[in-house]
Structure 1
Amino acid sequence: MADTLREQLRAGTWGTTLPGERQLAKHFSVSRKTASKAIAMLRAEGVIRTSRGKSSALVTEKIPPRNTKAPDRVVLLLPDPIDQSRPFMVYWLNNLTTLMHNVGVDFELVIGWRYFGRNADRSLQQLVDSHPAKCWILVRSPCSLQQWFADNGVPAVVAGSPLDDIKLPSVDLDHRAIVRHAALTLLREGHRRLAYVFEKARFGGTVIGEQAFRETIADYDSSATPGICRPSMNAASIINELRRIHNSSLRPTAYMMGNSFSYVTALSWFNSQQLLVPGDISLISHDEDPFLPFLHPTPARYAIGSAKFANALYKAVRRVMDHGSGLDFKELIIPDYIKGASVGPPPSASREAEIFRRR
């Protein structure tokens, strides 16, 4: 943040004074503590002069000359605060931060939904101009955001899968392999009414997963029926979708849950309906998180170590830092399948009839 402020002061962005810590923290989407440290650093350099109760004043002659060489900086852009993210993402982010710092790369996080909307072009341009970086990492990025970086030639790596054939480097789990394996596992157990539950927001991985789910079921048994649920990512929406499809004519006996949070919601809701896992309903989680092994029955799931994902992302970022924009490659990681105890054969006809009468 101190580097960015220094550049903005040099460019005259703030005039002759800086706003207070609270306003700066809000502007940069950082904590007030981080803003305070940045101001203290500039004050120690003599770039600004502070007085109690007054705005920080610029000392023009103390601003060092512009360094025309792009800094070794990487910026990670995501919509939600870290404390609202899944544990797996927090862990790989911690690993990635360590890798960057070990090689002297300035690693910065920028958080804000205003960069993720359909009309965010101006905000994105201002952000990129004020945060010169050799590479951007795009997390939970919609099509519009990915397209902006591709069209403007800004070097970036998608932590996920690009949408609509957008030409950007990416690192992600192999969603096609995961969903295909899960569908086949359930089909081989005898299930013929299956549902795939994934987040309503359109991401590359979910688009790939839905296609693989439909194709795998159709190829294995054309009489089998796939169901698709796209709830918003909150418990109430997930439960509403589960209730809707469970009470529909499809009545799935097996569910592929798109992430660990939705798996927990599904497990607890089916339990509240007196439906046993795996006796009445089979469940598989697309992802792993540290809390899943503590559930009973142990979830069937797909696991990858956070350090492995962070290493793959780090290598992709280094490639972009070395070669600049214009690269287009995909690094797909196949996780390990943990069998767990949440998958079994479908219930008997008599048990299904009993469940149907209770609806």
Structure 2
Amino acid sequence: MKRLPDRRSLATRVADLIRDEVLGGEWKEALPGQRALADRFRVSRPTIAAAVAQLRRERLLRVEPGRPSRVMRSAASRRSRPAASRTIRVLSTLPFDNLSYRSLYCFCELERRLAEEGYRIEIHSEPVLRKAHPFAMLERLARMPPAACWILHGARPEIQAWFARRSLPVVLTSAAEEGLDLPFVDFAYEAMARHAAGLLLRQGHRRVGLLLNRHARVGERRLERTLREEIEVCARADGRLFTFEQDGAPGSVERAMAQARDGATSVSAILATGTGVAMLALGHLAQNGARVPRDLSFLCCQEDPLIQCHVPDVTRYRGSMRGFARAVQRLTLDVAAGSAVRRNILLMPEFHRGATLAPSR
């Protein structure tokens, strides 16, 4: 028999989805607000209101003005045994408009891959988590229906520790803080540092600068430590690594670059940890008449479409965001399935020689 088109209204189909969630035990006492439901089902708030009105007529919900829609007690007897959660929650401490191209691409690829496995992804952007005491917000998030796994993006040490104390299923998109046994995916910064140090030393560079964010993540701090060890040990007495801390703002990067060209702390090569900082630094050099790589060699630890357009072609490490998303997906599925095996995945970027690395003069 041929299947006929589904001619029911959108509100009726959304009501079916909400009913399934209620009877499946996703919402035991009350529904989220209309805005949250609209975001979840990707429909308008009037459509959500129409769907809720239908469920009220079915005596599944009790609706009162100004209050969340409550689940009727009679619905409890109709509930089936709760199924395992098929929701994956991504928690970002940065607002969406501040996320990098790399992060946005990773989230989109991750959503597509997890959907193929039957999971629905929820992305929560909570800049308040960057404050000194984010625990009230974390407690509110914890009261949401259980998630099969949480993916933490840009999580500070106290947030990682909070999830660890509660033994919540979690995957980090950067290395876990020291002492925390949490699964993560990250790039192999220590291996990258050893490779970069070897390149620079073979080109005769002995005074090397590192543009490092003052709120650097664990992987970037390990890169700094390994780079210092390689340069100062292998080059012996004349090897020196100068760390120029900045916060990513143009003025901060400009001051760091001024230090890198000052007599006492001048360097012949610079390694930047991020593409945004790299572009600001290269712009500062061009504005001040410095020629790259004739006057200063320059390397970057990341790649994005913007830095690909720079002339001369920037020497850099190209981490595959598709590969990164694939690794996060694999680890997330393991954690969601309750795998007892602790796995940390380190990915080695591909080196792109470019045209900004030259022998020291």
TM-score range for the pair, normalised by the shorter chain length: 0.7 to 0.9
1:23-57 deviation per Cα after TM superposition (whole angstroms, max 9, x unaligned): x56xx996997672655554454466889xx6477
User: Residue 172 of structure 1 aligns to a residue in which SS?
Assistant: strand
Partner of 2:3: none
TM-aligned CA distance change 1:263 to 1:57, over 3 Å: closer
In structure 2, stretches of 5+ residues that fail to align are 1-16
Partner of 1:170: 184
- Work out the CA distance in 1 between the residues paired with 2:117 and 2:27: 28
1:61 aligns to 2:87 (yes or no): no
TM-aligned CA distance change 1:336 to 1:44, over 3 Å: farther
Amino acid at match of 1:134: A
Partner of 1:351: none
Query: In 1, are the aligned partners of 2:95 and 2:127 still within 8 Å (CA)?
Result: no
Query: In 2, are the aligned partners of 1:116 and 1:145 still within 8 Å (CA)?
Result: no
1:33-89 deviation per Cα after TM superposition (whole angstroms, max 9, x unaligned): 7672655554454466889xx647736439854663441111000012233211111
1:188 shift after superposition: 1.3
1:11 aligns to 2:50 (yes or no): no
Query: In 1, are the aligned partners of 2:30 and 2:71 still within 8 Å (CA)?
Result: no
Task: Name which structure has the greater RCO, CA cutoff 8 Å, separation 6+.
Answer: 1
- Work out the CA distance in 2 between the residues paired with 1:180 and 1:92: 26
TM-aligned CA distance change 1:245 to 1:255, over 3 Å: same
TM-aligned CA distance change 1:9 to 1:328, over 3 Å: closer
Q: RMSD across aligned C-alpha pairs, in angstroms? A: 3.1
1:114 aligns to 2:128 (yes or no): yes
Number of residues of Structure 1 aligned to a counterpart in Structure 2: 334
Amino acid at match of 1:105: Y
TM-aligned CA distance change 1:84 to 1:43, over 3 Å: farther
Partner of 1:286: 301
TM-score by length of 2: 0.83
Task: List aligned pairs for 1:137-156, cutoff 5 A.
Answer: 137-156=151-170
Partner of 1:334: 348
1:9-29 deviation per Cα after TM superposition (whole angstroms, max 9, x unaligned): 743588xxx6xx5xx56xx99
Partner of 2:240: 225
Query: In 2, are the aligned partners of 1:88 and 1:290 still within 8 Å (CA)?
Result: no
- Work out the CA distance in 1 between the residues paired with 2:135 and 2:186: 25
Query: In 2, are the aligned partners of 1:74 and 1:135 still within 8 Å (CA)?
Result: yes
1:195 aligns to 2:209 (yes or no): yes
Q: Percent identity?
A: 21
Divergent runs of 4+, >6 A: 5-9, 28-35
- Work out the CA distance in 2 between the residues paired with 1:241 and 1:196: 10
TM-aligned CA distance change 1:57 to 1:94, over 3 Å: closer
1:133 aligns to 2:147 (yes or no): yes
1:175 shift after superposition: 0.6
In structure 1, stretches of 5+ residues that fail to align are 348-359
Query: In 2, are the aligned partners of 1:70 and 1:132 still within 8 Å (CA)?
Result: no
Partner of 1:88: 102
Query: In 1, are the aligned partners of 2:319 and 2:350 still within 8 Å (CA)?
Result: yes
- Work out the CA distance in 1 between the residues paired with 2:92 and 2:359: 40
Partner of 2:10: none
1:121-148 deviation per Cα after TM superposition (whole angstroms, max 9, x unaligned): 2321220221410110011111111111
1:257 aligns to 2:255 (yes or no): no
Partner of 2:6: none
Query: In 2, are the aligned partners of 1:298 and 1:342 still within 8 Å (CA)?
Result: yes
TM-score by length of 1: 0.83
- Work out the CA distance in 2 between the residues paired with 1:186 and 1:39: 63
1:104 shift after superposition: 1.5
1:83-108 deviation per Cα after TM superposition (whole angstroms, max 9, x unaligned): 32111111111110101111210110
- Work out the CA distance in 1 between the residues paired with 2:131 and 2:30: 28
User: Residue 223 of structure 2 aligns to a residue in which SS?
Assistant: helix
1:222-258 deviation per Cα after TM superposition (whole angstroms, max 9, x unaligned): 2211101221122221112211332250201111001
- Work out the CA distance in 1 between the residues paired with 2:87 and 2:130: 21
Partner of 2:228: 214
1:267 aligns to 2:282 (yes or no): yes
1:260 shift after superposition: 0.8
